[in-house]
Structure 1
Amino acid sequence: MSEQLSFQPPAPAEDKPELTEEQQKALDLVNAQREKEEQAALPYRWRQTLTDLTVSIPVPAGSKSRDLVVEIKKKALKVALKGKGPEGVIIDGELPKEIKVDDSTWTLDDGKEITLSLEKVNQQTWWPHVVTSAPKIDTTKINPENSKLSDLDGETRAMVEKMMFDNQQKQMGKPTSDEQKKAEMLKKFQEAHPEMDFSNTKFT
């Protein structure tokens, strides 16, 4: 006698409740505070533009270049104090994106701080962290004014700002600027030609 197997369809996933504006603001504040604390706990400070990263790493006063291990690779970074074992490792991990090794440098300033300058290969994206093992920042919250956009010519700046807007829209599941323009054009055409049916029109 064979057993009859019955198939139970999975229960539909519950829709996440939409947050009110006040709830979203409160959540953003909590996330921003958590991100600030996580970044402050790192053994280095870092900032970025669309083209490069600058990482500042405090080291014991009086340090010499020969006391340090600094390895800059296309997709990896290591900074450590020689002879200190695992405790001497400051950064050792994979980079989220590739860098131009030949255009990346490091210096030892006043024997107490290492400054790394890492040149990005893809100069159209923000990095969420220096190495993939570190806590992420919310790249959608980066203010363009914090970058060198003001140094760009008008056409390039407009292109970069459009790219950043589209990137944020995609991450939020919203239409890009091009998709918005196409939808607006279709809407105007529909208004001018109400006798035509555009219900199944899709843009690629």
Structure 2
Amino acid sequence: MSTSPTPSERERSDAEAKAREKEEQAKLPYKWTQTIKDLDVAVPVAGTLRGKDIEVVMTKTKLKVAIKGQEPFIDGDLTHAIKVDESAWTLESVSGGGKEVSIHLDKSNKMEWWNAVVTNAEYKIDTSKVVPENSKLGDLDGETRGMVEKMMYDQRQKEMGKPTSEEEGKMDMLKKFQAQHPEMDFSNAKFS
């Protein structure tokens, strides 16, 4: 008979997995971070390089980053699609005299965590352990914000035993129908 791990065992297991993941990510020739909306990649390069020495190819589904004439740092299919027009790269100086190719990728699907930058990445992260940054309703686009506000309203209504926005809409339609058809008897009607 198997038993569930205790909270301390689960915590230790999660900590070990996180340490292993961090170690694996450190072996990559680049660093990357993400939010639910975008992804940033930093590729360290020699301080003597200039923009014309760097080759960055970005399409909706592919990314290649290399020093011209050398083996690429990244070359593969992106884990998910990006908005190319909203994505960009720069070559920036960093402390210690080096430089880095800084790449900003704007995710097409703003509701999805990536487990790697490219599908052929040697190391992938466990996206179920991603802890999102706190966001405010104001950070969301209009359509998403409306959807979230409706879900929050419906949740509060359910907790108070009141009808959801959808149920309220049905009741309003029924009241209008009853007002338009006073000759009909709704006294024995049952609604589910």
TM-score (norm 1): 0.62
2:144 paired with 1:144: no
Gap runs ≥5 in structure 2: 163-192
Give the equivalent residue in structure 2 for 1:156: 145
2:52 paired with 1:66: yes
Give the equivalent residue in structure 2 for 1:190: none
Give the equivalent residue in structure 2 for 1:49: 35
Give the equivalent residue in structure 2 for 1:102: 85
Gap runs ≥5 in structure 1: 1-14, 163-177, 186-204
TM-score (norm 2): 0.66
How far apart in 2 are the matches of 1:112 and 1:143?
A: 30
Q: Number of paired residues?
A: 148
What secondary structure does 2:85 align onto? Answer: helix
Give the equivalent residue in structure 2 for 1:192: none
Residue 100 of structure 2: which of 87, 98, 113 is its match? 113
How far apart in 1 are the matches of 2:9 and 2:77?
A: 36
How far apart in 2 are the matches of 1:106 and 1:58?
A: 13
Tell me whether 72-81 or 125-134 shows the greater mean CA deviation.
125-134
Structure showing greater Rg = 2
Residues 78-93 of structure 1: matches in 2 within 5 Å? 78-84=64-70, 86=71, 89-93=72-76
Superposition misfits of 4+ residues, deviation over 4 angstroms: none
How far apart in 1 are the matches of 2:37 and 2:100?
A: 23
Specify whether residues 33 and 157 from structure 1 end up closer, same or farther in structure 2 by C-alpha distance, changes over 3 A only.
Answer: farther
Give the equivalent residue in structure 1 for 2:18: 32
What secondary structure does 2:57 align onto? Answer: strand
Question: What is the letter of the counterpart of residue 43 of structure 1?
Answer: P
